[in-house]
Copies of this chain bind each other. A is one copy, B any other.
Amino acid sequence: MAKPSQPATLEDVAALAEVSAKTVSRVVNAEPTVSVKTRERVLRAIELLDYKPNLNARMLAGERSYLIGLFYDKPGDYLTNFHAGAADRCRESGYHLMLESWDRDSPQFTRQVSTLLRQMRLDGVILLPPLSDDVLIGNILRDASVPTVRIAPRDHIEDSPSIVIDDYLAARQLTAHLLSLGHRRIGFILGKPGHGATEERYRGFADEMRAQNTPIEASLVETGNFVFTDGVACAQRLLSVQSPPTAIFASNDDMAAAVISVAHKRGLELPTQLSVVGFDDAPVATMIWPLLTTVRQPVTTMARLAAELIIENSPRRLGWPSPLPHRTLDFELLVRDSTAAPT
C-alpha cells in the first residue's frame, strides 16, 4: 500500500493497469462488461495505488451522489443511535450521511430545504419524526424527486416507503401488562397532538381497556406533548384527583420520568403505590429508580434499513420497487421495576 502524496486518480490506475480510464471506471462501479482477466489486473493496480474514487467528481459527473440526507427537527435522544445505525450501513456501501437539522417553524424552512437540495444531489433522504409527517417537506422532496424514506409516520403515504413499529400493538400489550397486574384505574398521558405515535399509542391503550371491560375516566387522560415539564404538570393533576390512579401510562419515557419524579416528591412508594410505564426505552428509562417498564424500538435497525432502502434503489433510478416497502419492525416489551401490583 504505497501512500503517494498526491492521491491516485483513475488515470493513474489506468496507466498502471494498461487499460483506459473508462475501463477502470467500469471495474470500480462493478459493471458487468469487463473480462475477468482485465478486471483482476485493474483491481491489482487499484490495490497497489490504494486508489479511492473521488466522491466530488463522481457526484459531478455521474447521476449518483453517494450521499443520503438525514433530516431531523428536535429529535429525542434516539438521534445518536439512529445516526450510528444509518452511518454504519452507509459506510458498508461507500455512502455518506448528511445530517441536517431543521426548524420546522422557521419561516425560512422551505427555502433552506430547497436550497440544500439544489446545492447537492442527494440519493435519498430519511425523514425522522416529526418531519415524517410534514407535508411541506414531503412536497419539496417529491418535486425534487428525491427518494424519501419516512420513519414512523402517522399515515402510510403512498409515494414513499416507511419504517415503523406497531405502536398500537405495543400500547395494547403495555396496557395488558398493567391490567394483568390488577390495575383498574389507569391514568394516561398523551403525546403531542398530531404526532403519529400519539394517536396510535392511545388507541392501543383504549382498545385494550375496552377489551377488558375497564372504563377509561376522562379525568385521567392528560396531554403532555412528549416533554418532561408538561409531564410534571400532568402527573400533578393526575395524582390530585379524589381517587387517584394506581398506574399511569405515559406516552413516552420522558413523561414517565416526570411522573416518577412527581411521585418521589410526594413521597409515594414506588412501584407499590404507583405503577408507571413509558414508551421508547430512552436513556432516562434506565437512569432513574425504579427502572422504567417500557417498549424498546429497534432504532438502530430501523436506521440501517432506511439507509439500505435508499442505497439499494439508488443505482437504477426507476423509483421504488412495488409494492412500496413499508416495513413494520418488532418492538420489545421491557418489564422492569416501575410496575407492580397495586396495594
Contacts and interface: CB of A to CB of B under 8 A. Distances in A.
Interface string A74-109: 010101100110011001001011111100000000
Contact of A289 (B91, B98, B262): B262
Contacts of A288: 257, 260-261, 284, 287-288
Contacts of A193: none
A130 to B, nearest CB: 15
A6 to B, nearest CB: 10
Nearest to A263: B289
Interface residues of A, number: 50
Contact of A120 (B55, B99, B121, B260): B55
B283 A264 contact: no
A142 to B, nearest CB: 14
A98 B98 contact: yes
Contact of A119 (B52, B118, B290): B52
A115 interface: yes
Given A56-B59, A288-B257, A289-B264, A101 B88 contact: yes
A281 interface: no
B100 A87 contact: yes
Contact of A80 (B80, B260, B264): B80
Chain A at the B interface: SS class: helix
A53 interface: yes
A228 B80 contact: no
Contact of A98 (B88, B97, B228): B97
A215 interface: no
Nearest to A228: B287
Contacts of A270: 264
A121 B289 CA distance: 47
A297 interface: no
A219 interface: no
Interface string A120-133: 11000000000000
Nearest to A8: B118
5 contacts: A52-B118, A52-B119, A77-B283, A83-B99, A262-B289
Interface of A: 7, 52-57, 59-60, 65, 75, 77, 79-80, 83-84, 87-88, 91, 94, 96-101, 112, 115-116, 118-121, 228, 254, 257-258, 260-262, 264-265, 270, 283-284, 286-290
Smallest CB-CB A-B distances: 9 pairs: A261-B289, A56-B59, A99-B99, A56-B60, A257-B287, A264-B289, A87-B101, A55-B120, A52-B118
Given A56-B56, A79-B79, A97-B98, 15 more contacts: A7-B118, A53-B119, A56-B59, A56-B120, A56-B121, A77-B283, A84-B101, A87-B100, A96-B100, A96-B116, A261-B289, A264-B270, A265-B289, A283-B284, A284-B284
